[in-house]
Structure 1
């Protein structure tokens, strides 16, 4: 029994993949996202199929693919945006374009992009506030010390007359 929203009846079989293969891929991708990109779920077979979908043809190494798309919140947001923007070219009899479109709809229905963008914004705000606290502790003086700085007077000026001296230029 499939675990997920996609059923084989939702898809068209290709010469090399059954409709059940397509449904399994779609459900696996959604489980992977729900797991918050658990590396244990990023199996070789899943990677092989994902690397051929959504225009990922330039990737050929599983660990580098994972690093590029799933290693941080910023990368995950990039992946979701890329996935949602991809035009899903091709005929479902020859490509996974039907499952790509179904995945896009489900990602939209589950509001993944907005959820991950919010998490990224919260992470950035936390980073910015930590940096602000660090910089304030380094450059801002406490109120008591600021009062002492204001009481410092200028050093006394030497009152002896100044006599210019001119030497020879040659």
Structure 2
């Protein structure tokens, strides 16, 4: 089933997956971002692209890297779960959890 360019389809290892391939391109432009004491614009663009790619691919467990966990656990008002696996279980294990994650970051 497709709704407004968001695909809801079976995904290996879960009952249902959400995918939105259009999020993957174009990549974020570092010149549109501001440096902070923690990250330069290029690092921000790389992480933003990684987050968008993860979402676009349907938030697969294999794509939820340690670096992605570290960044997401400090963004969008998320309180860090005990660890990477706890964050995954809370925010990505089910389609409802994934939809709630998307609602929180928008």
Give the TM-score normalised by structure 1. Answer: 0.45
Q: 2:12 matched to which residue of 1?
A: none
1:89-168 matches, within 5 Å, as none
Give RMSD over aligned pairs.
1.4
Q: Which entry has the higher C-alpha Rg, 1 or 2?
A: 1
Report Cα offsets for 1:59-84 as digits up to 9, x if no partner.
24110101111111100110011111
Gap regions ≥5 residues in structure 2: 1-24
Q: Is residue 84 of structure 2 the alignment partner of residue 62 of structure 1?
A: yes
**2:74–2:80: 8 Å Cα contact kept in structure 1?**
no
Q: 1:77 matched to which residue of 2?
A: 99
Q: 2:19 matched to which residue of 1?
A: none
Q: 1:37 matched to which residue of 2?
A: 59
CA apart distance, 1:34: 1.2
Tell which has more relative contact order, 1 or 2 (C-alpha 8 A, sep 6+): 2
Kindly report structure 1 stretches of 4+ aligned residues shifted beyond 2 Å: 57-60
Distance 2:37 2:104 in 1: 27
Gap regions ≥5 residues in structure 1: 85-170
**2:54–2:64: 8 Å Cα contact kept in structure 1?**
yes
Q: Aligned residues, how many?
A: 82
Q: Is residue 48 of structure 2 the alignment partner of residue 26 of structure 1?
A: yes
Q: 1:132 matched to which residue of 2?
A: none
Give the TM-score normalised by structure 2. Answer: 0.71
Give the structure with the larger strand fraction: 2
| CA spacing shift, 1:28–1:4, aligned 2, 3 Å | farther
Distance 2:46 2:82 in 1: 22
Give the structure with the larger helix fraction: 1
Distance 2:70 2:26 in 1: 20
